[in-house]
């Protein structure tokens, strides 16, 4: 598969009154043509900062200390603001979390959807509105032609999010970054928006980076999943591998905190403690203070990635050859069993 985007050893810090916050501490990942990569983690793990760095939309107190973000073989980090303006919206687009703050309340939605296309492709406003109408129909806005002149407040929350998606897609970008696009929506509308994004992706063959804290959302959307904690990616694999063969204790905790669909009466697991203070990042594994399976080496040295399969790797000392065997939570053992059965069925 062709690589659309490569992030290599990205390190980002923020200057604050309290000192330098080391928000991203060596993040690397690839995005392939036509795939959806979900980046998952709790608040403060670095998901949104990573995605915004791809768009070069970081705040003024942010510093990209080192690393590369390669798009079409060129390093985005080295591009000027003027060069980025030619890329944003046209080749890499972003859907933000809250549609009401993403839309201009004083501008009709037809004009807002068409604006990026008119600017980048140098077409007339009439042609832009025609293209906007096609996109609004594609994302499922009812009576789209009659509603081109309506304003954001005249639409429901779900419809506003569809409009934001239309704005992001109007130039048919190669990369679409969706930063928690369904957080403010109820579950039914959330499912519709996720289904819409999958449908559109197959039609225009765009590659999606999907940012979320909700692993339940990821299951139906992602081809691959990267789990973030403390400014680092700590496990990455296919959606099936992360859900049914997780290896990092933090991933175990995330999956254990999800309600089970089989109607079991077990209490949901809550990961103890709080995320690390990135003003003074730990020298070892950032998760060790909250990790009941932590080893002595976790306090001294950050683990490297250990390969589980050609598509699956995790940064935990539990995968080291000399590590003791531990009994993971019952829920994880259940998932491992399902995974083994699935693999056996594929081979048989």
Beta-strand pair 306-309/207-212: unpaired
Q: What percent of the chain has pLDDT over 70?
A: 97
What pLDDT score does 5 carry? Answer: 96
Query: Residue 232 above 90 pLDDT?
Result: yes
Q: How many CA atoms lie within 13 A of 268 on its CB side?
A: 9
Higher pLDDT, 204 or 75: 75
Euclidean distance between CA atoms 115 and 168, whole angstroms: 11
The model's pLDDT over 272-291, given as tens digits with 9 standing for 90+, comes to 889 999 999 988 999 999 99
The model's pLDDT over 116-133, given as tens digits with 9 standing for 90+, comes to 999 998 899 999 999 999
Query: Residue 310 above 70 pLDDT?
Result: yes
Query: Residue 263 above 60 pLDDT?
Result: no
Average pLDDT of the residues in 314-340: 93
Q: What percent of the chain has pLDDT over 90?
A: 70
The model's pLDDT over 148-183, given as tens digits with 9 standing for 90+, comes to 999 999 998 889 988 998 999 899 999 999 988 877
Query: Residue 323 above 80 pLDDT?
Result: yes
What pLDDT score does 191 carry? Answer: 82
Tell me, letter by letter, the H, E, C secondary structure of the chain. Answer: CCEEEEEEEEEEEEEECCEEEEEEEEEEEEEECCCEEEEECCCCCCHHHHHHHHHCCCCCCEEEEEEEEEECCEEHHHCCHHHHHHHECCCEEEECCCHHHHCCCCCCHHHHHHHHHHHHHCCCHHHHHHHHHHHHHHCCCCCHHHHCCCCHHHCCHHHHHHHHHHHHHCCCCCEEEEECCCCCCCHHHHHHHHHHHHHHHHHHCCEEEEEECCHHHHCCCCCEEEEEECCEEEEEEEHHHHHHCCCCHHHHHHHHCCCCCCCCCCCCCCCCCCCCCCCCCCCCCCCHHHCCCCCHHHHCCCCCCEEEECCEEECCHHHCCCCCCCCCCHHHHHHHHHHHHHHHHHHC
pLDDT confidence band for 262 (50 / 70 / 90): low
Euclidean distance between CA atoms 290 and 52, whole angstroms: 28
**CA 134 to the chain's CA centroid:** 27
Average pLDDT of the residues in 190-195: 82
Q: What are phi and psi of 302, to 5 degrees?
A: -70, 135
What pLDDT score does 261 carry? Answer: 57
What pLDDT score does 203 carry? Answer: 83
What pLDDT score does 346 carry? Answer: 83
What pLDDT score does 264 carry? Answer: 52
Q: What are phi and psi of 106, to 5 degrees?
A: -100, 0
Average pLDDT of the residues in 327-347: 90
Chain-wide mean pLDDT for the chain?
91
The model's pLDDT over 16-75, given as tens digits with 9 standing for 90+, comes to 999 999 999 999 999 999 999 999 998 889 999 999 999 999 999 999 999 999 998 899
For the entire predicted model, the pTM comes to 0.92
- What domains are defined for the chain? 3-222 (3.40.50.300), 247-347 (no CATH)
The model's pLDDT over 97-107, given as tens digits with 9 standing for 90+, comes to 776 778 999 99
pLDDT confidence band for 256 (50 / 70 / 90): confident
Strand order in the sheet with 312-314: 92-95, 175-179, 207-212, 36-40, 224-229, 232-238, 312-314, 306-309
């Amino acid at each position: 598969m062709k690589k659309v985007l490569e992030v290599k050893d990205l390190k980002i810090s923020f200057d604050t009154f309290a000192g330098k916050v080391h928000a991203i501490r060596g993040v690397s990942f690839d995005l392939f043509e036509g795939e959806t990569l979900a980046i998952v983690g709790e608040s403060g793990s670095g998901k949104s900062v990573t995605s915004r760095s791809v768009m070069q939309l970081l705040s003024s107190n942010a510093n990209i200390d080192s690393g590369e973000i390669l798009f079409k073989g060129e390093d985005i980090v080295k591009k000027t603001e003027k060069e980025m303006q030619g890329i944003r919206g046209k080749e890499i687009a972003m859907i933000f979390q809250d549609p009401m703050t993403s839309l201009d309340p004083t501008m009709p939605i037809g004009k807002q959807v068409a604006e990026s296309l008119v600017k980048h492709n140098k077409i007339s406003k009439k042609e832009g509105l025609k293209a906007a109408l096609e996109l609004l129909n594609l994302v499922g806005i009812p009576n789209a032609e009659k509603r081109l002149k309506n304003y954001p407040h005249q639409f429901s929350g779900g419809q506003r999010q569809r409009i934001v998606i239309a704005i992001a897609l109007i130039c048919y970008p190669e990369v679409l970054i969706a930063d928690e696009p369904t957080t403010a929506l109820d579950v039914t509308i959330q499912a519709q928006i996720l289904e819409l994004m999958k449908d559109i992706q197959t039609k225009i063959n765009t590659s999606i980076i999907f940012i979320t804290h909700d692993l339940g959302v990821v299951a139906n959307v992602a081809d691959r999943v990267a789990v973030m904690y403390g400014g680092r990616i700590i496990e990455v694999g296919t959606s099936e591998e992360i859900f049914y063969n997780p290896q990092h204790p933090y991933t175990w905790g995330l999956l254990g905190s999800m309600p089970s669909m089989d109607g079991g009466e077990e209490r949901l697991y809550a990961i103890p403690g709080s995320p690390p203070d990135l003003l003074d990042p730990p020298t070892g594994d950032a998760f060790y203070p909250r990790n009941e399976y932590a080893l002595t080496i976790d306090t001294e040295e950050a683990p490297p990635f250990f390969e589980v399969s050609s598509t699956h790797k995790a940064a935990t000392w539990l995968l080291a050859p000399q590590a003791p065997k531990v009994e993971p939570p019952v829920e994880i053992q259940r998932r491992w069993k399902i995974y083994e059965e699935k693999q056996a069925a594929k081979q048989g």
